Each structure stands twice: as structure tokens, then as C-alpha cells.
Amino acid sequence: MLRVIGYIRQHKAAFIGAVLLAAGTILAGIGLMSTSGYLISRAAQRPMIVDLFMVTAGVRFFGISRAVVRYFERVVSHDLTFKILLSMRIGLYRQIDSFSQKWLMTRRPGDLLAGVTSDIETLQNVYLRIVSPIIVAFLIGALTFWGLTFFSMNMAWVTFLFFLLNGLAAPLLMARITRGRGKTEVQTRSRLKTFLVDRLQGMQELSWMGQQQNSRDSFNQMQGDLDHIQRKNAGISGLAESLNNLFSHLGMFFVLVMAIPLVMNGEIKGVVLAALTLGVLSSFEALQGLANAFIQYENSDEAARRLFSIAENKEAAADNSVPETQILSTIPEAITFQDISFSYDGVTPTLKAVSFTLSAGSCTAIVGSTGSGKSTLINLLLRFWPPDSGKIMVGGSDINQLEETSYRSLFGVVSQDNWIFNRSLRENLLLAKPEATDDELRESLIHVGLEHFAHDLDMEPGTQGMRFSGGERQLLALARAWLTQSHCWIFDEATAHLDVKTERKILDTLWALKGNRTLLMVTHRLLDMDKMDKILVMDKGEIVEQGTHAILLSANNYYARMFNHQNQILSY
């Protein structure tokens, strides 16, 4: 919590201004009530109108200034809140951005979403509902006490007592009653969000499996839980408000009771009696938000804890033990895997001492059964995960030492599932090359055989590219890869779910566009294997065979069996 408050320190001037304005609003309220009380009492004595002139001016002044000061208080405090939110949000984004892919890939997206949206929004209460009300309560409490000492010391102490009851005892009681509820509310809300994001993403699957009703029921159940919690919390807030009212009026009542004898003795003029009691009543306004502050404290504390635990996750931080300063300026001669071993969970080995070299401009295919570790090799090459042991060298440097952006720009990747963003076709293509002109984008589409889309770059592909067929999505990914002008193309099952004709078309496009790029192709379908310089056959995390198509066929081993088996199926 202290660290959240630390963010306020960056906006000291605005903070002090907002607190002073908040206190000013309440002071103006006290002024308004007192002058009004005095005006009515004084008017009852039927003085000359001129005698009332100053008082009416006072009423007018406080009435208007209260509204004006409140307006500016709202403007400044909300501006401050949003500034604090902004710095927090940017800070959090930066942290998430620096996290390793390894960690991010194991996260539920809903958690992160909840983190950057609702948790941070909960924290906006820290200033508005917690810090500011407490300071203002202190200020007004002290001023009221000081003001009352001019009338009677006893009265000042009694009011002070009611300030304590109202500002400390009641909120503490409320906080006690609500303990644990704030936490449950935040957790329930976050669970609901995670659930919703997950189910929305998988909506199609849910409807295929006829599970919409089921999901709806689960959702209703969770929402019901949340409603229940929120209703209870609202009830408690209501109770807090009533207690506040009760103590405020009791406080006023006691002041009145104590003031009457003083008026009788002539120590206080009768005409100020109303002003005094009404002034005391409005000073209690400063305590109005305190019960809420105590309740909010727990909510915010929980949200802050979650946020900072995301932001400071040691495990998540990308391994920067080696500074990534080296910028790749020339096209590397070769990409070499040296004794790479890797395991996702630290228990089952996914890759076991894999070594191979991709020389510049060569074509390499990786084939092998499902789960043998082919995509994993690519994940390591793209630095999504660091290998457990061994090194990947690119142009003589360990890839960990290369600066990320220049390193990643080496590769154009077309995978089995390419994400198409729900933006225009143009924006989807510009991801690959932000400075490209429309003509270049059109050219890329024509190159990959998507000329029928070339005239309409503003077209919206829909959520996850739904308006494109599977094949068109692959071609679009190919167009992106082509646009990046990257040196090395990686195809991971890029044609796996396409029909034979489209697959042929994509492969032909690929060969036509390849030029002197290095190509790494993961595939189950052994097409165009004779064009490959090298074929790596993987099984259970190891390279069991390698060589050219002809050599592997004549070796009559694993690869030859795969190839013959496939041809048999095709000839049925």
C-alpha cells in the first residue's frame, strides 16, 4: 500500500492542491451553515436591513464558493487520480513487456487483463477514497477543535470525542465487519473475468459441443456469487453512512445542550447559538468518507498485492544475465544448434542434446511424429524459451546476447495458426513492415496469390480472421513473412490443414519467392522433399536420422518407412 502511495509523491503539487481544495469545500460548507444560522437568528431580532447586509453577503459568498471550490476539487483530484493510474498502468505494461515468453505463455490471459484493468481501477480509490479523506478529516478536526476553544474548552473536547467516534471507532467497526469481504470481492471478480475471456475465445468450440447452456449456467453462478458479495458490501456501506449521520447529529445535539447554559450565563450570545451548532454539524461532513476509506483499504490492499506480485515476479523476468547489446548487422552465415536440451516442466525432457546447422540460403526440413519436439526447436530458436543446456549460435554469437528486435527481424514465421488481428487487412500487413506503402502491401498480396483482396486493404477480417478461409490465412501469413524481408523463413506445418491444391499453390509460391533465404520447414507431409538440402528426422526429442531425401530413402530406415507409408495412403 505504501508503494501505491509512493506514486502520489510524483504529483506532490497536484496532491497538496487537491487536499486543500477538499478541505476548502468543507470549510465553505461550515461557513455557509454558520452564516445561514446566524442570519436567521439575527433576522428574528428584526434589525435594520443594513445590519444584515454583511451576513447575507457571507451566505452568498460561502454558498457560491462552496460550489466553485468543490468543482475545482473534483477536477484536480480526478485529474490526479488519472495521472496516477496512467503511471501505474504504463509501469505495469513495461513490466509485462519485459517478461519472458516462457512465463507469459503459462499465464491465463484473464489474469493479466484483470490486472491491468480492474485491479488498477480499484487502486484509483487509494487516493480518492483513502488518503485524501483521512488527511482532510485531520485538518477539519483540528480546525473545528481550535474554533470551539474560543467558546468553551469542554465543548471542544466533546466534539473531539464525537470526531473520534465518528472518524475512528465507527470506521474500525465497519472494517471489522467487512474484513475478508473486500478480498473475496476482488478475487471473485477476477475469477469471473478469467472465465469470461476463456469462454469467449472458445465460443465456437463451446457451440460445437453444445456447451453454451453449461457455460451460461457457470457464468450465472459466478455472477450470482459476485452480486451476493456486492449486495452485502453495499448494505454495510449503508450502515456506515447511517452511523455517520447518527454520530454527527448526536455531536451537534451535545454541543447544543452544552451551549444553552453558556447562553443563559451570557458567556455566548444567543444569536450565535444556531451558527455554532450548525457549524459543528457541517464539520462532521469531513468524516463522511472515512468508513468507506477503511473498507476500501482492504480492497485496494488486495489489488495492490496482486498487481505487485505480477509486476515483480522473479520467475517471469526475462533472463537478462547476459546483456543483449549485440546488434546483428550482417546476415549470419549459419544458424547452429549445439547440444540443445530442453524440458518444459523440468522433468520430462522434450529435446535431448540436439545439434544441427542451417547454413545460409539452405533448405532444411524437420519431420517426425507428433510431439517429437519440432515446434519446440522453433520456439527455442525464436527465443520464446531459453534452452536448459547447449547454445544456439547465429553468425558466431549466442542468440541470448543479440538485441531482441534486430534478432527477431531475422525471421519470418508462418505457423499452423497465424493470428489475424481484428483490424483492417492493411493494419494486419503493416505489422510486418510498419513503413510499407499501400502499393507494397498490394504487391505482397499479389505475390502470394491473394490478388482478389489487393483492391480492398480496408477490409476487416473479423475476430481472429474469421472472414478468411484457413488457406487464405496461411497466405496472408506468407505475405507478412514476405514483407518482413527477413533472412530466414520458418514454416511450421504451414500447409497442414489445407487442401492438396492450395498446399501445392503455397509451396510453389514459397519456392518462387524464396530467393537466397534460409528456409526451415517443419512438416508432416513429405512434399518437395527432394528440394531440401537436408532433412532432419526427429523422434522423442532426438534427431534419429539426417541427410538428403535420396540418402534417407536408400538408408531404408525411419524416414523411408514414413515416406512409403504416406505414399501408400495417398495411392489408395
Minimum CB separation from ligand ATP for residue 534, in Å?
17
- The answer to whether the beta carbons of residues 445 and 453 sit under 8 Å apart is yes
Q: What is the DSSP string of 11-24?
A: THHHHHHHHHHHHH
Q: Which is nearer to ligand ATP, 211 or 546 (CB)?
A: 546
Distances from the Cα of 11 to the Cαs of 18, 79, 297, in angstroms? 11, 11, 21
- Find the shortest distance in angstroms from Cβ 494 to Mg ion: 11
The interface region with Mg ion, picked from 22-30, 44-52, 373-381, 427-435 by CB under 5 A, is 373-381
Q: Residue 234 corresponds to which cell in the numbers above?
A: 453495499
Q: How far apart, in whole angstroms, are the C-alpha atoms of residue 440 and residue 485?
A: 12
Q: What is the pattern of x (binds ligand ATP, CB under 6 A) and - over residues 375-404?
A: xx----------------------------
Kindly state whether residue 415 participates in binding Mg ion, applying the rule CB under 5 A: no
What is the chain's alpha carbon radius of gyration, rounded to the nearest angstrom? 36
Q: Residue 325's beta-bridge partner residues?
A: none
Q: Which does 371 bind (CB under 5 to 8 A by kind): ligand ATP, Mg ion, none?
A: ligand ATP
- Residue 105 CB neighbour total at 10 angstroms: 11
Least Å from the CB of residue 77 to ligand ATP:
45
Check residue 315 for interaction with ligand ATP (CB under 6 A).
no
> Under rule CB under 6 A, how many of the chain's residues touch ligand ATP?
10
Cα–Cα distance, 533 to 148 (Å, whole number):
94
* Least distance (Å) between residue 105 CB and ligand ATP: 6
* Interatomic CA distance for residues 472 and 478, integer angstroms: 10
- The interface partner of residue 336, options being ligand ATP, Mg ion, none and the CB cut-off 5 to 8 Å by kind, is none
The site partner of 344 among Mg ion, ligand ATP, none (C-beta below 5 to 8 Å per kind) is: ligand ATP
Please, are residues 43 and 53 in contact by the beta-carbon 8 Å criterion? no
Distance CA 451, CA 473 (A): 14
CB of 309 to ligand ATP, least distance (A): 22
Q: Which stretch binds ligand ATP (CB under 6 A): 177-185, 192-200, 366-374, 563-571?
A: 366-374
Select the residue interacting with ligand ATP from 141, 279, 373, 471 (CB under 6 A): 373
The H or E element that residue 488 is part of is strand 488-492
- CB-based burial, 530-549: b 16+ in 10 Å, e otherwise: ebbebbbbbeebebebbbeb
Q: Judged by CB, which is closer to ligand ATP: 318, or 360?
A: 318
Q: Which residues in 99-128 contact ligand ATP (CB under 6 A)?
A: 105
DSSP-derived letter for residue 151 is T
Phi, psi at residue 516, to the nearest 5°?
Answer: -100, 25
**Closest by Cα among 151, 154, 376, 173 to 273:** 151
Q: Is 375 in the site for Mg ion (CB under 5 A)?
A: yes
Handedness of CA 162, 168, 170, 171 (dihedral sign): positive
The one segment of 31-39, 222-230, 316-324, 372-380 that binds ligand ATP by CB under 6 A = 372-380
Q: Which of residues 331-360 bind ligand ATP (CB under 6 A)?
A: 344, 350
Dihedral sign from CA coordinates of 522, 525, 528, 529: positive
With CB under 5 to 8 Å by kind, the binding choice for 350 among ligand ATP, Mg ion, none is: ligand ATP
Q: Which is nearer to ligand ATP, 348 or 516 (CB)?
A: 348
Other C-beta atoms closer than 10 Å to the C-beta of 454 total: 18
Q: Which 170-189 residues touch ligand ATP, going by CB under 6 A?
A: none
Helix (H) or strand (E) holding 339: strand 334-342
Interaction between residue 466 and ligand ATP (CB under 6 A) = no
Q: Does 374 bind ligand ATP (CB under 6 A)?
A: yes
Tell me: does residue 371 bind ligand ATP (CB under 6 A).
Answer: yes
Antiparallel, parallel or unpaired: β 397-398 and 389-394: antiparallel
User: Which listed range, 108-116, 195-203, 364-372, 434-442, lies at the site for ligand ATP (CB under 6 A)?
Assistant: 364-372
Q: Helix 181-201 crosses helix 290-311 at what angle (to 10 degrees)? A: 50
Using the contact rule CB under 6 A, the part of the chain among 142-150, 253-261, 278-286, 369-377 near ligand ATP is: 369-377
With CB under 5 to 8 Å by kind, the binding choice for 203 among Mg ion, ligand ATP, none is none
| CA dist., res. 165 & res. 162, Å (int) | 5
Which of ligand ATP, Mg ion, none binds 364 (CB below 5-8 Å, type-dependent)? none
Instruction: Identify what 372 binds: Mg ion, ligand ATP, none; CB under 5 to 8 Å per kind.
Output: ligand ATP
CB of 539 to ligand ATP, least distance (A): 10
Question: Closest separation between CB of residue 110 and ligand ATP, Å?
Answer: 18
How do 411-414 and 488-492 pair as beta strands? Answer: parallel
> Distance between CA 34 and CA 182 in Å, rounded?
39
551 vs 374, 379, 382, 567, CA distance in Å? 21, 29, 30, 18
The verdict on 509 binding ligand ATP (CB under 6 A) reads: no
Q: Residues interacting with Mg ion, by CB under 5 A?
A: 375
> What does the binding site for ligand ATP look like in residue numbers (CB under 6 A)?
105, 344, 350, 370-376
